[in-house]
A = this chain, B = another copy of it.
Amino acid sequence: MISGGVKAGYVRPLDIKNGRIDLTHGSGGRAMAQLIDQLFRPALGNDILAQGNDGATFALPPGRVVMATDSHVVSPLFFPGGDIGALAVHGTVNDVAVMGAKPIYLAASFILEEGFPLAELKRIVESMGAAARAAGVAVVTGDTKVVEQGKGDGVFITTTGVGVVPDGVEVGGDRARPGDVVLVSGHIGDHGMAIMSLRESLAFVSEIQSDSAALHGLVAEVLAAGGVGVRVLRDPTRGGLATTLNEIAGQSGVGMMLDEASIPVRPQVEAACEFLGLDPLYVANEGKLVVVVAPEAADAVLAALRAHELGRDAARIGTVYEDANRFVQMTTRFGGRRIVDWLTGDQLPRIC
């Protein structure tokens, strides 16, 4: 995100109220510098971003470094409980946090469609700034590109985060062991169904709020309570809880047995899913944490989850067992048993 401090006397301020993005805002010239100076920098501002170089320079505390990246293409851009700006912060903060790291810095890159209203962009970037401050991370570098009308869809935001893993923390998708306990931090499917019920105008269900939230604080509490007993941390986003558990089973070479009755799902999410023919197990979350934990640490970690605002409805939902087939299975509410397979189709496009 470069701009050289446009010279005084030359500049008509951006018309943020009525203006729209045009191709000059991506050209690298004065219009782009203005957009950065008058819209991005006030919303995201910090000392490192203000240096105005081609990248950011900073020191990191000692420890292993974690880097994660996510492009955000959610549609619609604004939804109950969030917007693409906050989501782009939460998504990447969470990817860094579930690696066991404390997220510290973010890079943010915008692909804007010609004609997009500056007022909406401002709202999105301000939401991003607020989410970053709340998560204790700084957006220290960025980029802006503009594509012609019809070659994009309003705004796409790619965020990349770096963080550092404190000494002694060892988590990873390949560390689940037979006997481990599977926990989830709360109700599943909220984010995906908030988006879908907006898209499908489901008026009969009461409004579903996205759970979009930064999980770094919850992760810190889990690690403090469970220590080396914490094996795997994941945020079950695209593909939902089912896909995340299948990924862990695959990486660790184990099976899992879930108990359907213990998996928290809000009644309005259940109703909306039923209406649309969806299974909440496959619906995206943006503020939930899956924890695989050694049995001796499970109670302490569950208590730590429940003591945190974002984990009040945490539940123990299953156990890990030995299985060369790496199946995720579930005891249903009716006492049957079924395989919870990978998502094969595209349940929910552009959910994040």
Contact = CB atoms under 8 A, between A and B. Distances in A.
30 contacts: A3-B247, A4-B173, A7-B325, A10-B342, A23-B346, A24-B345, A27-B239, A27-B345, A27-B347, A28-B284, A29-B238, A29-B239, A29-B282, A29-B347, A31-B344, A31-B346, A53-B99, A54-B94, A55-B95, A55-B96, A58-B64, A68-B107, A69-B108, A71-B144, A107-B160, A109-B158, A111-B158, A147-B153, A147-B156, A152-B153
A162 interface: yes
Q: How large is the interface on A (under 10, 10 to 19, 20 to 34, 35 or more residues)?
A: 35 or more
Number of this chain's copies in the complex: 2
Contacts of A161: 55
Interface in A154-173: 156, 158, 160-162, 165, 172-173
B52 A56 contact: no
A263 interface: no
Contacts of A203: none
A247 B2 contact: yes
B64 A55 contact: no
Nearest to A3: B247
Contacts of A297: none
B99 A28 contact: no
A151 interface: yes
A72 to B, nearest CB: 8
B54 A65 contact: no
B342 A95 contact: no
Contact of A67 (B94, B141, B347): B141
A237 interface: yes
Contacts of A110: 71
A38 interface: no
Interface stretch (A179-187, A220-228, A248-256, A269-277): A248-256
A311 interface: no
Given A6-B342, A51-B173, A145-B350, 18 more contacts: A2-B173, A3-B250, A4-B249, A5-B250, A24-B346, A26-B346, A26-B350, A27-B349, A30-B343, A31-B344, A54-B234, A59-B65, A71-B158, A73-B147, A111-B111, A147-B153, A148-B350, A152-B153
A32 B343 CA distance: 10
Nearest to A232: B53
B342 A30 contact: yes
B58 A28 contact: no
